[in-house]
Structures are given as C-alpha cells and as structure tokens.
Amino acid sequence: FVAVLDFGAQYGQLIARRVRDLHVYSEIVPCDVSAEELRELAPSALILSGGPASVYAKDAPSIDPAIFDLGLPVLGFCYGHQIMAVTLGGEVSHSDVGEYGPATIERAPKSALFNATPLKQTVWMSHRDAVSRAPEGFIVTSSTAVCPVASMECPARKLYSTQFHPEVRHTEHGQQMLSNFLFDICGLSGDWTMENIVDRKVEEICKKVGEDRVILALSGGVDSSVVAALGARAIGRQMTCVFINHGMLRANEPEQVEEVFTKQFDVDFIHVHAEGRYAALLDGVTDPEQKRRIIGTQFWKEFFAVAQQLEEGGRPVKFLAQGTIYPDIIESGARKTGGKASTIKSHHNLIPFPEGVSFDLIEPLDHFFKDEVRELGLALGLPAHIVYRQPFPGPGLAIRIIGAVSPEKLQILKGADAIVREELDAYNQRLFDQTGERNSEHSCWQYFAVLPDIRSVGVMGDERTYARPVILRAVESSDAMTADWAKLPYDVLARISGRIVDEVPGVNRVAYDITSKPPATIEWE
C-alpha cells in the first residue's frame, strides 16, 4: 500500500483519495512515525503531504531522516517537498511574496514524474517559504517566476517532490503525475477494485469469524447495511442482524429494510417491534436531551436482550460487527498505536455493555471513505435507496417532533416527510441527470419535515381551521459540520407546500427554514 505521511494538512485525506481513485490502496499515517515503525507497516511507497507550518517554525513537524534510507520511493508535496529538501541537506528560504492559486511551471523535458504532460502547464500553489537550493544529487525539474525549485528529483533513489499540489483538481495534470509515480516509478499495479475488495473482505471475515456467531445492530443506514450485505456474502446466517423498530422511523422504512434483508440477502434478520415500549417511555417527555437519552438507553437494552436470547437458545454471540468508517478513526495515531486501540475504546464507551458482556469487534469498513462504502454497497447489490440514503438521526422522528411525541403527531410528520422526500429525491435526480454528480452544487444533502408544537389559523373551503404548521428543512452540505439552506426553486417549494396541505390531514401551513449552520443546527432538537 501507499502510506501518506500526514503533516497536518487538509490535503492528507485528499491525497489518499486520489491514490485510491487510481485503484492503489492508500492509508494515512501520522508524520511522526519512525523509520522502524514504517518498516513494520511495510508500505510500497510514501507520499509526504502538505502542512500548515513553516519548516523553520518552533513546533514544526519533522520527519525521521532514516525514512529516506528505507529504499522506498518517496513523493513529497508542498511541506513534504520542503521537509525533504531540508532533511537531505538542501535549503528552504522565507520569502516575502507567497504564491497562492494557479501558477505556470516550465518543466524539464526528461522527468519520469512529468511524463505525458505538457512542457508548460498550470499547477496549484499555496506557499510562502520555498526551496532555494535542492539537496546534493537532486535535479530541479521545474520552476515558476517566484519559485526557483517548483519540483526536484533524485531518480537514482526514487525521491521526487513538488512545491505545488498535484492532488488538487486545479493542478491540470496532477492525476497524471500521481499515476506516473505509482505505476512507472514505483511499479505498482492498480488492482484495488471494488470486486477485488469484496473478495478480500469476504475472505477476511470468514477467516476471523470461523464457526462463531456475529451480531449487528442494523439501522438501515448506509454503513450498517453494507456491513450486513458483506456479512451475508461471507458468513450468511451466522450473522444475526438486529433491526430495532422504535416506531419513529420514516414512512415505509421498516418494511423496506425487512424486504432487503429477508428477500435479497440471506442473513438471520430479527425485526424487534419495540414501538409500544418506546411510546410508553416517551409519553409526555418534552426535553430534547431526555428524549435522546431514553431512546439511546432503550436501544441497547433491546439489542442486548436479543443477544441474550441467542445465547439462551444455544447460539452464543462472539463478535459484534460495526459500521465504523475511515473518517471515524483517522484521528492521528490510530494506525501507529498498534492498530486502532484508542478508537476502539471510545466506541466501546459509547455502547453500554451490561456487566460481564463483551464481544470481539469486526469493523470491515474501518478503512473506507463514505463514497467508497457506497461503491462497495453497489458492488454487493444493495438497492440505490439504501446506498444513497441521506443521513437520518438515531432517535429518528422523535427529535423532529418538538415537544412530546404522540401517535397523532407521528402520523402527521411521517406523511409530510414522505412528500418532502418524494419531491426532493426527484429534484436531486433531475440535477444528477444534468450534472452527473450525486452531491452537485445546489443538490440537497439532507431534507425532511419538522413538526413544531404550535397551531395556527387558516381557512379551507369556507371553514376556519386551527391546525398544525409543518416546517421544511433542506440543506446543502458535505459533512454536516456546516450547512447552508438549500436555494430551492420556487416551483419546487410550491409543489411541496401544496401537496402537504392537500394530502396530510391536520396541516394547514408550511414554512421553510432559511437558516444556515451555524448558527442553527440541521436538526431542530
């Protein structure tokens, strides 16, 4: 695999993504890894990422110089370029003029890294310091007006570096350079394809599980569904998928999940009908945090009750499968500290195991990015409505009903939410047809209805009504950390509003939430 040494840039993840796009497996490793540790990890090549620091700053991250003696091909970008230069005896100087954005380089005619790219080309720069003298044995392979060493290389030792960022799209031929490095210089083969991955993962799961039983909390979300589909392929009915229906799922959702995991995939599927127990526990509860606590605590009670029944029925559970994905574990140190010890602990902490209960963990997605998980889901044959499902909170509709949850409110919200999803699924599909991108600019990332705890006056026919408003929430986002309200076309808004008041009894008004996050959050509770 290719190890990306992460010097704290926002570019680290992006580099790993670009390498994987070329079907070569890549992982992020913290930059303070020692040569010895790296030898044990046994990568085939290294990429040094950019980073926010100046190599001369007081706490600037450094690199174990012995890493350059491991005989591995190395490619450095930006900070990685500068750290390679200073570590190997070159020089980096401060400069008053930085270079930010597109720049034009002229490259040397002979350089394996630049093969099949033009002599003059546009690259993306973002730096103030610059390499002023390349180390001995290196040749300078490109420069710009303000950057004398825009790239350098020592082909005999397979060391290459660029001041610019080949991993960003604005570097016109960046992907070609990466491809030159991986295939021509390192001699790797691009065999990390979804079909191969499925085979490898299936093999891994079989080997680890043996004859034992695995249990999975299947929510119907993307990650747990992909784990279930993988498990079905690997161990079939040795895997028990527990679907806990708390009654606050969206319209048709429980039926769809049950259909997929009983008809299409051969797993031991248990549908726990806990609707009544949840309704009783939540009766009259208005505080959002208390609702969350009740729902979360009851969830694990229901789950462990199933595990216990299996045990009593002579089918003891050895493994707990989880849909942990790569961004969950990337926090630095994860790989170095002997696997993912630190992260596993925090996951365990989230799950309130009853006294004396413990499981071994299986986390088959722990090195996949979200869109790779979706690709894996498609390769396994999961339907698009699961693979492209929008995020949905664990506590479900309970935190979209402001105030106490009741059957009447649930019915209204499910009806309104179904219309919102139907209309905005179609809107997203139209954008997808136009742009070919799933989460293109202006497509909605998450969209749903919220039911506030108020009523307002309206008029229907000749009658005065005193009924409920519904709030439409639709946001554009990529990671839920920040979000903007979606600038939906008026005709789409009009259709949603018209359909909700026409089709959902008890609703006489629709409002649109036009607040971004921050200062609001995506959900209302």
Angle formed at CA 301 by CA 525 and CA 256, multiple of 5 degrees: 70
CB of 397 to ligand XMP, least distance (A): 11
Say how far apart CA 513 and CA 519 lie, in whole Å: 13
User: Of 81, 127, 165, 367, which is the active-site residue?
Assistant: 165
**Stretch touching ligand XMP by CB under 6 A, among 80-88, 101-109, 119-127, 389-397:** 389-397
CB-based contact 212:238 (threshold 8 Å): yes
C-alpha Rg value of the chain to the nearest Å:
27
Asked if omega into 452 is within 30° of 0 (cis), the reply is no
And the tokens for 170? 């604005």
Cβ nearer to ligand XMP, comparing 181 with 299: 299
Structure token pair of residue 238: 């040795």
Tell me 393's DSSP state: -
Which one of 27, 99, 153, 167 is the catalytic residue? 167
Query: Judged by CB under 6 A, which stretch of 1-9, 87-95, 452-460, 515-523 contacts ligand XMP?
Result: 515-523
Residue 6 near residue 30 (C-beta atoms within 8 A)? yes
Please, is 38 exposed, middle or buried when counting C-beta atoms within 10 Å of its C-beta (0-12, 13-18, 19+)? Answer: buried
Span near ligand XMP by CB under 6 A; candidates 115-123, 260-268, 359-367, 516-524:
516-524
Of 154, 155, 150, give the one whose Cα is nearest residue 136: 154
To the nearest whole angstrom, how small is the minimum distance from the Cβ of residue 268 to ligand XMP?
25
Q: Would you count residue 351 as binding ligand XMP (CB under 6 A)?
A: no
Q: Which is nearer to ligand XMP, 395 or 469 (CB)?
A: 395
- CA 310 – CA 93 distance, rounded (Å): 66
The mark string for 455-484 relative to ligand XMP (x by CB under 6 A, - otherwise) is -------------------------x----
Each residue 271-300 as x (binds ligand XMP by CB under 6 A) or -, in order, gives ---------------------x--------
Q: How far apart are CA 139 and CA 157, in angstroms?
A: 12
Residue 165 among the catalytic residues = yes
Select the residue interacting with ligand XMP from 395, 397, 447, 450 (CB under 6 A): 395
Q: How far apart are CA 92 and CA 85, in angstroms?
A: 7
Assign 127 to helix, strand or coil.
strand
Please confirm, yes or no, whether 31 is among the known catalytic residues: no
Instruction: Enumerate the H helices of 148-259 as residue ranges.
Output: 174-179, 194-209, 222-235, 253-259
* Minimum separation from the CB atom of position 253 to ligand XMP (A): 14
Question: Is residue 372 annotated as part of the catalytic site, yes or no?
Answer: no
Count of other CB atoms within 10 angstroms of residue 268: 20
Residue 393 interacting with ligand XMP (CB under 6 A): yes
Instruction: Figure out which of the listed residues 104, 434, 435, 521 binds ligand XMP, where binding follows CB under 6 A.
Output: 521
370 interacts with ligand XMP by CB under 6 A = no
> Minimum Å distance from CB 521 to ligand XMP?
3
Q: Which stretch binds ligand XMP (CB under 6 A): 33-41, 238-246, 336-344, 386-394?
A: 386-394
Do 218 and 243 touch, CB atoms closer than 8 A? Answer: yes
Does the protein bind ligand XMP through residue 505 (CB under 6 A)? no
Q: Residue 101: phi, psi to the nearest 5?
A: 105, -160
Residues in binding contact with ligand XMP, number by CB under 6 A: 11
Active site residues: 78, 165, 167
Binding site for ligand XMP (CB under 6 A): 292, 391, 393-395, 446, 480, 517, 521-523
